[in-house]
Structures are given as C-alpha cells and as structure tokens.
Amino acid sequence: MRDWKAIASFVRQLYATEDDFIALHEPGFVGNEKAYLEQCIDSGFVSSVGKFVDRFEDAVGEYCDCRGVAVVNGTAALHAALHVVGVEGGDEVITQGLSFVATPNSIKMAGGNPVFLDCDMDTMGLSPIALDAYLGTHAILKSDGSYNRKTGQRIAACVPVHIFGHACRIEEICEICDQWKIPVVEDAAEAIGSTYNGKALGTFGAMGVLSFNGNKIITTGGGGMILSQDTALADKAKHLTTTAKSVHAWEFSHDAMAWNYRMPNVNAALGLAQFEQLGDILADKREISKAYLEFFGARDERFVVAMEGCESNYWLNAIEVADREVRDSMLQYLNDNKVMARPLWVPMPDLPMYRDCYCDTFENGRYLADRIVNLPSGARFSKSD
C-alpha cells in the first residue's frame, strides 16, 4: 500500500477535522445570502426581473473590466456566446479534447462541430503549437474568414479552456486566431478571480463565460455569465438570452429566434452576496494551494501550479501521479476514507457522441487524464462564521 494515509492526514489537518467528510469544493454561506434572499422574496420579484440581476451583472462586470450578462448556467452562456460570434449549422469550432463535456455540448447546441486539439502539459489548456499546426495544415484563409481545406466548412470559432482556474496561453491563442480571422470564446467557467498579466481570464477573446454552479468559487445555485469588452456583442447576448423581446410597456413583441436563458432574481441575490466575499475566499484558497505545494514538494507527486504571469484562483488543486494504476489506487483510498478526490474528465474524443469528430494526436491530454488527481480545494468556513 502506498502512503496515501499521509495525504489524507494532511488534508484533514488542512481542513481541521479528524473524521468529517471533506468535499472537493463545498460552498459557504456566511455573508448576506439570507438577507438578500429575504429582500428578494419580500419584493415579490423572484424570477427573471429584479434589481439583484442588474447589481450582480454590474458587480462582476466591473470586477472583470467588461460587460457581464447573467444567465441560467455556464453551458447556456457558452451556447449563447458561440451563437453571438456567428457559429452556425455545419461550422467547425476548434477546442481542446481535455475539458468538461459542457464545452463540446455547447458547440453542438450552437450547430457547430467540435475539432479536438491537444493541450499543453503545464497549463492543461489548448496548446498554441497544436492550434498553429492544425490551421497551417487544414485551413485556408479567405476574405470572410478561415475554412477547412478538405471539408469546405467554415472554422467559425475557437474555444480554449482555462482548466482549474489556471490560464492557458491565451495571448498566443488569440494572436494565432486573429491571423486566421477566427473569434475566440474563452471557456473561463472555472476561472473567476484568475488573471493573466493583470487581465481577467474570460476577457481576452471576443467573449468569455463564467460558471456559478454549486461547486464553483462563488455560486448562484446554478448560473453563469457571459463576458465581453465589446458592447455590441454584450448587448446582443443580453437581447438573445432574454427571448429577444422588444422594449415596450405592455406588448410582447420579439424580433429574433432566441432563448429564455435569464438568471432569476433569486439566484442573482445569492450570487451578489457570494461575490461580496470573493476577496476573502480567494485569499484562503491561495493559502490552501501554498500549503499543498509545500507538502508535495517533499513527495514524488507533482503539484500543478499556474504558469508565470497567471494569478490563479486555484479552483481545484491538482497533483500528477506516476500512472493510471497509481491514480486509481489513490482515488480509492481517499474516497474510502471520506476525503473526496476525483480524476480528470474522460477525454472528449473518447466519449461515444464525439468519437467521429476530428482529433489530433492528443498525446498530452491522454497522458494527463491518466495521471491527474484533484484534492479538496474549497475555502474554509468555520462553524462560527
């Protein structure tokens, strides 16, 4: 038996508990959540209209230095953003094979076909080298954008993912895509509070998205947000995610096919209260990551750190182990002993519905999928809080 007990003991020491179950990432409600929810209920505006939606959008937008559009979840945010940048039926959309399934699902929802490329070993995000190689081999640049030389399909967007809150090489990716006239939509679902060279992740491309699922750094229960520094794109996203209803005092007139992706006011109230604590949450999570880094510095496992220039939120702390057998042994022991740990996702090209999509060699992605283990990473909230 490998020394998994030492890891479990360290995690228990980190979270100051001897026997309780330790979740991978548990939310804490220690601020104005109840007060804001009561205000929301007392106002009667608990659905898609209410002041908390505007306040939450404004707060996150100001924090990220962009416009924010709140929606029901991160998948809806990515679907809508892809539609807004012009993805249509039959288009190809470049992304990475290492991601949560919502990424390619959103591409398919927008009518596109995912093209899966490899990731970088250090960031786990889309590799600019793989992207440049794919476009140089498969794409042709025309006046209205890039097209696949073989299929003739338009390459309508590129969706890099910031894994675990760590920045991918987003500046290089954007530079390559600009040369090929391909809009970038950042999947920053896990990355609120993370920056690269001082700029918020999710604001480098034409659009970006955040998730506020229950396991994220701050939560609205279920929710997401579209980010953009392009006012026209943000306005279009707002219009289309609110059923494309024309402004009128009483008539229900709609000028486009659209969706009811509106975040309810009750969820935004929860989100605003959570957002007010973001600074403290990030500070504690970064202390946790430093403790993990020090602990694993004396062990064989490699602790995954963000690349230089990235101030990561360390949404999930990750280690790399020797191989899949070691990974599974560690996961079995930790979970059996009430310390929640998980592997990476099954690679997207290996899922049955995406096996026919284009995929490059994907060597780094499969290597990492066999070896990465996530450990408990939630901010610590005392019972007195």
Q: Which domains does the chain have, with CATH numbers?
A: 4-28+278-375 (3.90.1150.10), 33-275 (3.40.640.10)
CA-CA-CA-CA torsion sign (204, 125, 97, 139): positive
Angle between helices 324-336 and 4-14 (to 10 degrees): 50
- The whole-number pLDDT of residue 1 equals 52
Token pair of 364, please? 């780094």
- The whole-number pLDDT of residue 237 equals 98
d(CA 150, CA 155): 12
- The whole-number pLDDT of residue 384 equals 47
Name the residue among 173, 204, 182, 174 with its Cα closest to residue 112. 182
- The whole-number pLDDT of residue 383 equals 46
Q: Walk across the sheet containing 67-71 and list its strands.
A: 67-71, 224-228, 207-211, 185-187
Place of tokens 């979970």: 335
The alpha carbon of 301 is separated from its chain's Cα centroid by a whole number of angstroms, namely 25
Do residues 284 and 313 lie in contact, with contact meaning Cβ atoms separated by under 8 Å?
no
One-letter amino acid identity for 102? A
Whole-structure pTM value: 0.96
pLDDT tens-place values along the chain, 385 residues long: 578 999 999 999 999 999 999 999 999 999 999 999 999 999 988 887 889 999 999 999 999 999 999 999 999 999 999 999 999 999 999 999 999 999 999 999 999 999 999 999 999 999 999 999 999 999 999 999 999 999 999 999 999 999 999 999 999 999 999 999 999 999 999 999 999 999 999 999 999 999 999 999 999 999 999 999 999 999 999 999 999 998 888 899 999 999 999 999 999 999 999 999 999 999 999 999 999 999 999 999 999 999 999 999 999 999 999 999 999 999 999 999 999 999 999 999 999 999 999 999 999 999 999 999 999 999 998 544 4
- The whole-number pLDDT of residue 55 equals 97
Token pair of 175, please? 């530079």
- The whole-number pLDDT of residue 385 equals 47
- The whole-number pLDDT of residue 249 equals 83
